[in-house]
């Protein structure tokens, strides 16, 4: 592999990784226009394992906006990202798949708008299908596979150090 090819591969890896980060930030910020802009025109998302819907990115963005309205405090942590390029048949270096684990604490606003303990925490794995377009790397599909969910017990005694 030449240095030029290696550099292009590193740049693509960073761009795809950045796309996944933008996905999480858009959800946390509730910026559904930005979230939708991360997808190809025919991009789809599947949140059925988390009690949601599967459909085109616009419809899913609407569902997310409504579902997360009651949880203004969000912080999606997407970790253990595994990026694989050229995973589709007859690929020319313009596709990638990312598998990444997530932890997602969601909370209602605390008193006076201050942050509060999470009201719901879930975790699982996301599968991102990514396509190089004229506008850069975009998501053609996202599948969320929730593995666990818990609501913290508000009656538990506070931790003492």
Identify whether 107 is part of a domain. Answer: yes
Identify whether 161 is part of a domain. Answer: no
Identify whether 158 is part of a domain. Answer: no
Does residue 159 surpass a pLDDT of 50? no
Identify whether 155 is part of a domain. Answer: no
Residue 6: its pLDDT value, please? 77
> What average pLDDT does this structure show over 71-95?
85
Identify whether 61 is part of a domain. Answer: yes
Residue spans of alpha helices (H) in the chain: 3-29, 32-37, 57-68
Number of domains in the chain: 1
Residue 114: its pLDDT value, please? 60
Contacts 24+ apart (CB under 8 A), 135-138: 136/15, 137/12, 137/15, 137/16, 137/19, 137/96, 138/19, 138/38, 138/39, 138/40, 138/43
pTM for this prediction: 0.86
Does residue 161 surpass a pLDDT of 50? no
Does residue 87 surpass a pLDDT of 90? no
CATH of the domain at 102: 3.10.450.50
Is pLDDT larger for residue 21 or for residue 151? 21
> What average pLDDT does this structure show over 126-132?
97
CA angle 145, 15, 94 (to 5 degrees): 80
- Domain extent for 72: 3-150
Identify whether 160 is part of a domain. Answer: no
Is pLDDT larger for residue 104 or for residue 116? 104
Identify whether 28 is part of a domain. Answer: yes
Identify whether 110 is part of a domain. Answer: yes
Residue 86: its pLDDT value, please? 86
């Amino acid at each position: 592999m030449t240095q030029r090819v290696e550099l292009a591969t590193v740049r693509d890896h960073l761009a795809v990784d950045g796309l996944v980060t933008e996905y999480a930030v858009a959800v946390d910020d509730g910026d559904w226009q930005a979230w939708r802009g991360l997808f190809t025109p025919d991009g789809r998302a599947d949140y059925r394992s988390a009690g949601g819907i599967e459909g085109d990115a616009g419809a899913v963005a609407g569902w997310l906006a409504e579902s997360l309205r009651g949880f203004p405090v969000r912080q999606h942590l997407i970790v253990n990202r595994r990026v694989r390029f050229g995973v589709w048949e007859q690929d020319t270096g313009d596709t990638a798949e990312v598998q990444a684990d997530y932890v997602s604490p969601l909370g209602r606003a605390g008193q006076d708008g201050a942050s509060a303990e999470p009201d719901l925490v879930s975790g699982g794995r996301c599968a991102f299908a990514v396509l190089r377009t004229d506008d850069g790397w975009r998501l053609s599909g996202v599948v969320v596979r929730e593995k666990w969910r818990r609501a913290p017990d508000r009656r538990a005694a506070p931790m003492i150090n």
